[in-house]
Amino acid sequence: MLKKIFITTALLGCAASAFSASNRPEGYVTICKIGETCSVSGATNVAFGAADKFVYKILSGSFSCSVATFGSDPNPSKSVKECSIPKSGSGGTTSSTPTSSSGSTSSSGNNGGGSGSITGATCGSGGSTVNVSSTIIVSSGTYDGGCKVFNATSALGDGSQSEGQKPVFRVENGATLKNVVFGNNAADGIHFYNGGTIDNIRWTNVGEDAMTIKSSGTVNVKNISGYAGSDKFIQVNAASTLNVSNCVVDSMGKFLRQNGGTTFKIAVNVDRCQISNMGEGIFRTDSSTSTAKITNSRLRNAGSICIGKWASCTSSGITNY
């Protein structure tokens, strides 16, 4: 009897801690609290918030754990907020001296491998919000989002892992989408039809996935940042060429997946990316005709680079940081 009570209590305890609100995202560890100065040793995705509501920013060096640093207050009803980093992150340290320093975004120098720096998107997450209830279609020329925060409504989906959600943007026929920040609900992100380009895009909280190639073409993805996904970051559902350069991607199941069971050919080139905390790995296919390459990039806890049958899957200029 005593044993039974003990086990029941232990189970209840586990359940309570698994579901109670947390001051850091899953897999993150707190490095300091609001009003304190903390520092990270390299470009690190720092979460700021309380009770399961966070904003994220790539910071390096010393910064103040404050609303000013992160550009917005993710949970105004909570006065105690924490700054946290991925558990295998850059070894943050805390000092208790309050400061007004606002920290710097990731290094402008070459921070690993090859030519050019890895900075990700330059749009921050503090812009005005646009609620999106029907997919914005970009079918020619350039759509400039002005670094506003585009947040899907329930008409598109809830940003969870359920399939069948609609994209926030559809880019087609070689058109360009630039300067966009996705808010807390990114639904099914961006869909590409017949090729297109995206430039300077930030996902603060990746939805079901961040982007999908839906029909054949060449897709160019540059200067992007993506955080806090669950499964795929990039989903490829059609024969295509994908070029990705200058990306910062943290906390996904995998960076890229060719749709399971498909055998068409995709060619993927990834250059100057910082990829961290992938549950499974970077590139996955079931197609023995597809190719993937990653160059001049920084990896941390990124799993296997090549998963599946790839005709060719190579890496060079990789720094493990």
Query: Contact region for Ca ion (CB under 5 A) — 129-137, 180-188, 192-200, 266-274?
Result: 180-188
Q: Residue 73 pairs with which residues in a beta bridge?
A: none
Q: Does residue 13 belong to the site contacting ligand ADA (CB under 6 A)?
A: no
Candidates 179, 194, 235, 274: give the one binding ligand ADA (CB under 6 A): 235
From the CB of 166, what's the least distance to ligand ADA, in Å?
Answer: 12
Residue 107 vs 259, nearer CB to ligand ADA: 259
Candidates 208, 254, 255, 282: give the one binding Ca ion (CB under 5 A): 208
Neighbour tally for 214: CB within 10 Å = 18
CB of 240 closer than 8 Å to CB of 213 = yes
Q: Does residue 199 belong to the site contacting Ca ion (CB under 5 A)?
A: no
From the CB of 282, what's the least distance to Ca ion, in Å?
Answer: 17
Query: Contact region for ligand ADA (CB under 6 A) — 91-99, 131-139, 205-213, 215-223?
Result: 205-213
- Cα separations in angstroms, 67 against 47, 52, 258, 273: 11, 16, 39, 28
Candidates 72, 75, 230, 237: give the one binding ligand ADA (CB under 6 A): 237
Which residues contact residue 83 at a Cβ distance below 8 angstroms, ignoring those fewer than 6 apart?
30, 31, 32, 33, 34, 36, 38, 46, 47, 48, 65, 92
Candidates 91, 98, 116, 260: give the one binding ligand ADA (CB under 6 A): 260
Candidates 30, 99, 230, 259: give the one binding ligand ADA (CB under 6 A): 259
Long-range interactions of 76-81: CB distance < 8 A, separation 24+ = 78/50, 78/51, 78/53, 79/34, 80/23, 80/33, 80/34, 80/50, 81/23, 81/33, 81/34, 81/48, 81/49, 81/50
Q: Does residue 165 belong to the site contacting ligand ADA (CB under 6 A)?
A: no
For residue 105 the two structure tokens come to: 């975004």
* Residue 82, binding choice from ligand ADA, Ca ion, none, Cβ under 5 to 8 Å by partner class: none
CB of 283 closer than 8 Å to CB of 268 = yes
SS3 label, residue 291: strand
* Residue 30, binding choice from ligand ADA, Ca ion, none, Cβ under 5 to 8 Å by partner class: none
Candidates 36, 82, 199, 209: give the one binding ligand ADA (CB under 6 A): 209
* Residue 260, binding choice from Ca ion, ligand ADA, none, Cβ under 5 to 8 Å by partner class: ligand ADA
Q: Which amino acid is at 43?
A: A
Q: 19 phi and psi, to 5 degrees?
A: -110, -5
From the CB of 253, what's the least distance to Ca ion, in Å?
Answer: 10
Which residues contact residue 1 at a Cβ distance below 8 angstroms, ignoring those fewer than 6 apart?
none
Q: Does residue 191 belong to the site contacting Ca ion (CB under 5 A)?
A: no
Residue 36 vs 208, nearer CB to ligand ADA: 208
Instruction: Check residue 95 and report its DSSP letter.
Output: E
Q: Does residue 240 belong to the site contacting ligand ADA (CB under 6 A)?
A: no
Q: Does residue 172 belong to the site contacting ligand ADA (CB under 6 A)?
A: no
Query: Contact region for Ca ion (CB under 5 A) — 32-40, 71-79, 183-191, 287-295?
Result: 183-191
CB of 94 closer than 8 Å to CB of 197 = no
Residue 31 vs 252, nearer CB to ligand ADA: 252
* Binding region for ligand ADA (CB under 6 A): 163, 208-209, 212, 235, 237, 259-260
